[in-house]
Amino acid sequence: MLDEIAIEGRPRYDDRTNMVVGCRQHGHKLPLELGTEDDLNVLCTGIKDGKAHLAREATVAALGLLTPHPRLYAARPILFSADCKRESGPEHAVNILHPLKRAIKNKAQQGNTTYRAVCFASDGEGRRGKALVMEFMNRELNPESPIHPLVSGLEFMNLLVGEDDITPDKDAKHVLKCLRNLTMRDAGIKIRGFSITLGLIKNSTFTIRAFLNPRDRQDVLTAFSLLKAIWELPDPPHDSSPSFSRGREALQIFGRLGYHLMMPYVNVDLDLSAQLTYLSAAAHLLMDLYAHDSARTDFMPAQTYVNIMMMIKNAYFCVAKTKVDIPEGKFWLILLGTDRLEIFYGLLRSDVDLLQLANRASRLAEIAVVILAAHPDWDGAPRRLKLPTIREAGEVLDSRFDHLNPASWRGDVDVRNVTLLELICWIRGRELIEDFIPATREVFELDILSPCGKPLLEAYDEEDIEAVRI
């Protein structure tokens, strides 16, 4: 999993290597190894003249095991790299992804245990999105691959993968925030020919209006509460005007999309088959809304669409890999994404530079592995990162269940009970949407990443979808 964290922009001398820690994009232009006073003078002059920069952000990569054991599933950071945000997607692939792939491959065999990278997770940052597409969506799934029989029959599924069938993943909480931010963008959201504007959303109910705070686009709980309020909207009164009824119907459709996307991550009573069915329903509804009446980016930015589909696709592929590698195993969908890395960030003190960040990582890993494993009730994610926990009947559980983990999940997640080969989950998801909007039967074509015929990966741009103009 990969993500960025803000750091203090100051040069630091590492006495273990006799080098100054610098940003990865431009550090090679200056003498970072200090042999003489002249080296230090040249370095300071280069920074002053803008040949290199004091990075104020660091890229962090961590390993996260897909296991229920608290001592094992905590994030283990393995890479810290200063970033000045002037790197292209291809450069990011060379500077970050290539070294990670080599390191993981070199350490895959540990004693009698063989580890395998199944996916690379990230948020919606556009530069890394392009890098992930380049590295992990550059070839069709080989028909000889052991997972091919399990996923090749999923109609409309995109089968592009990387080396060893690795797939890119996107964080579910990031997707949630992006859906909320869509409701506040200037252009509105076009839903099957009707444009939902911010004013229409505000006028729906007082509850919805309370969650529309454009000054805080990062609060996960607020984003979830807004979507929940939308999917719980009642049908319009019988005496409503046609425009009001159309608007309410469009909002209900958007709410249904949020419902199918979020329930697999918050409803602890769902079994794995039901989680995949909900994600399939979200994928088919998303295809319809993007393609209907050529809405495309009037519905949502291409990058947002691609990121959501990457997340759904990766869930199906990871379950297939688990069925092949560990046929008697279990799979927890909530362990995908970058959430464990965000929890690691929550343990850090603020105002660290790159060297301090790296030095503290090993001690923080020990805290996560030993202390928090012994006292899981101490393992509280920051409030802004928490999602509420929901029962099947829609009941929101109390704060004791705030931190979702494998131990708190009640549904059956045994991969033996997921009939991917018979396509049941995928087909049931499609049927849910066809029953909800019968007209969708005529829309679906090509695959989930080409809803209008042209692959959207080719239009993957540098826009950070958390920064949608509002």
The CA distance from 461 to 89, in Å, is 10
* Whether pLDDT at 210 is above 70: no
Residue 145 counted as domain residue: no
Residue 276: predicted pLDDT:
96
Residue 434 counted as domain residue: yes
Residues 347 and 305 in one domain: no
> pLDDT above 70 covers what percent of the chain?
86
**Closest among 96, 98, 103, 68 to 82, alpha carbons compared:** 96
* Whether pLDDT at 32 is above 60: yes
Amino acid identity, position 184 = M
Over residues 450-459, the mean pLDDT reads: 80
DSSP state of 332: -
The CA distance from 140 to 466, in Å, is 30
Model confidence band, residue 400 (pLDDT cutoffs 50, 70, 90): very low
Residue 146 counted as domain residue: no
Residues 417 and 293 in one domain: yes
Tokens standing for residue 296:
């495309």
Residues 301 and 257 in one domain: yes
As beta bridge partners, residue 140 has 160
Domain that holds residue 193: 172-323+409-467
The CA distance from 133 to 113, in Å, is 29
pLDDT in tens, 41-73: 888 888 888 787 788 889 999 999 998 887 778
Residues 283 and 355 in one domain: no
pLDDT in tens, 337-354: 998 888 888 777 677 888
Residues 316 and 344 in one domain: no
Q: Is the pTM of this model over 0.85?
A: yes
Residue 126 counted as domain residue: no
**Are 29 and 52 in contact, with CB atoms under 8 Å apart?**
yes
Residue 152 counted as domain residue: no
At 65 the three-state DSSP class reads coil
**Closest among 167, 257, 220 to 404, alpha carbons compared:** 220
Q: Answer positive or negative: Cα dihedral of 221, 227, 229, 232.
A: negative
Kind of pairing between the strands at 167-170 and 119-122: parallel
Q: Average model confidence (pLDDT) for the chain?
A: 85
Number of domains in the chain: 2
Least confident of 79-83, 167-171, 388-392, 447-451: 388-392
